[in-house]
Amino acid sequence: MKFVDEYRSAESIQKFCRAMSEIITRPWIIMEICGGQTHSIMKHGIQELLPPEVTLLHGPGCPVCVTPMEQIDHAIHIAGQPNVIFCSFGDMLRVPGSEKDLFSVKAAGGDVRIVLSPMEVIQIAKEFPEKEVVFFAIGFETTAPANAMVIFQARQENLKNLSFLVSQVIVPPAMRTILASPENRVQGFLAAGHVCTIMGTQEYEPLACEFNIPIVVTGFEPLDIVQGIYMCVRQLEEGRAEVENQYSRSVKKEGNLSARRVIEEVFQIVPRKWRGVGEIPQSGLGLRSSYSMFDASKRFPRETKNCEADSPCISGEVLMGIKKPTECPAFGVSCTPDSPLGATMVSSEGACAAYFHYKKVNL
């Protein structure tokens, strides 16, 4: 495929692996912070191509996976109301809540609809003015511009029957939480290229400086990832701790200014709970007061409770890089994509799903 084959070139990948072997002098642990990168690493066997001194850990790079169980339960509560059309991206439907998932609500007759774009909910709200239309607005900074734009559009068109259950999260505070943990093993990061396409690279510089850790903004194809790892290892070996941009064909230092403006117009920084991890300060985006009339959590209030205390899922330890999916006793046994105990197994970007699909032969 044009413009893709060159990023899957075995010769180019081997070149970077050989260059890595020539400079590496000790073991290093690097974490990729993107579920898409995790799946690419597992699918293409990248860990097996690297020098044995390099260990890859998989961070909280999946927005579906980090959506807290209480928020899933709130979504299920809303979707079960008789006059509601609940809209969501498809990978949220099978994420388990404390008792069931959104797919169960749909199977029981609830009007739960999969959309491919947030803008679809504008048309649905216009088509069914007698219904309350709710969109489950989740994601990292990558989805924030589209979600912000549809909320902005809803206010412009004065759509009173449309609201949003917002569960937007921000990557750098999660990285800070990992680095500040006494159990942290991470010595270098691969930052998510699509997030940085929106937000740029500047917000990672304080992290690199404070924790003396290299951060390399990296793409998603095999060559991108191996080159990003090489750049990270080179910094580690040279004693540097800088933010470098491997994904320069897409990422600019300042990011996408138009996208950032619409995010800032609609959202404000808030604390956010991450599934399996707990609350992380300043790690979420919530609606500004000027858009609070579109807040589904206020239209459909529900008492929240901690649902995860008795969960057998170790996804929090997986997301923090403390354990790998295969270290969970339930992995591939009582926890599979058909009967997931946690979001990391059911999400298309989840680390457990990646291990199940691409390392199943090792079970």
* Residue 293 exposed, middle or buried by CB count within 10 Å (0-12, 13-18, 19+): middle
Is residue 315 within 8 A of residue 308, CB to CB? The reply is no
- Which homologous superfamily does the CATH classification assign to the domain defined by 5-54+172-238? HypD, alpha/beta domain 1 (3.40.50.11750)
CA distances from 106 to 89, 126, 161 (A): 14, 22, 20
- Taking the C-alpha atoms of residue 335 and residue 324, their distance in angstroms, rounded to an integer, is 14
Write out pLDDT tens, residues 60-80: 988 899 999 999 999 999 999
Would you state the structure tokens that stand for residue 10, as one six-digit string? Answer: 């075995």
- In the chain, CATH 3.40.50.11750 covers 5-54+172-238
Is residue 62 within 8 A of residue 344, CB to CB? The reply is yes
Write out pLDDT tens, residues 114-152: 999 999 999 999 999 999 999 999 999 999 999 999 999
pTM > 0.85: yes or no: yes
Q: With pLDDT > 90 as the criterion, what percentage of the chain qualifies?
A: 83
Whether the pLDDT of residue 216 is over 90: the answer is yes
- In the chain, CATH 3.40.50.11740 covers 64-170+255-299
Write out pLDDT tens, residues 315-358: 889 988 899 999 999 999 999 988 888 889 988 889 999 999 99
| Beta-bridge partner residues of 274 | 278
User: What integer pLDDT is reported at residue 346 of this predicted model?
Assistant: 87
Q: Helix (H) and strand (E) counts for the chain?
A: 17, 11
Torsion over CA: 289, 295, 301, 304 (sign): negative
| Fold of the domain built from segment(s) 64-170+255-299 | Rossmann fold (3.40.50)
Would you state the structure tokens that stand for residue 75, as one six-digit string? Answer: 């979504």
User: What integer pLDDT is reported at residue 138 of this predicted model?
Assistant: 96
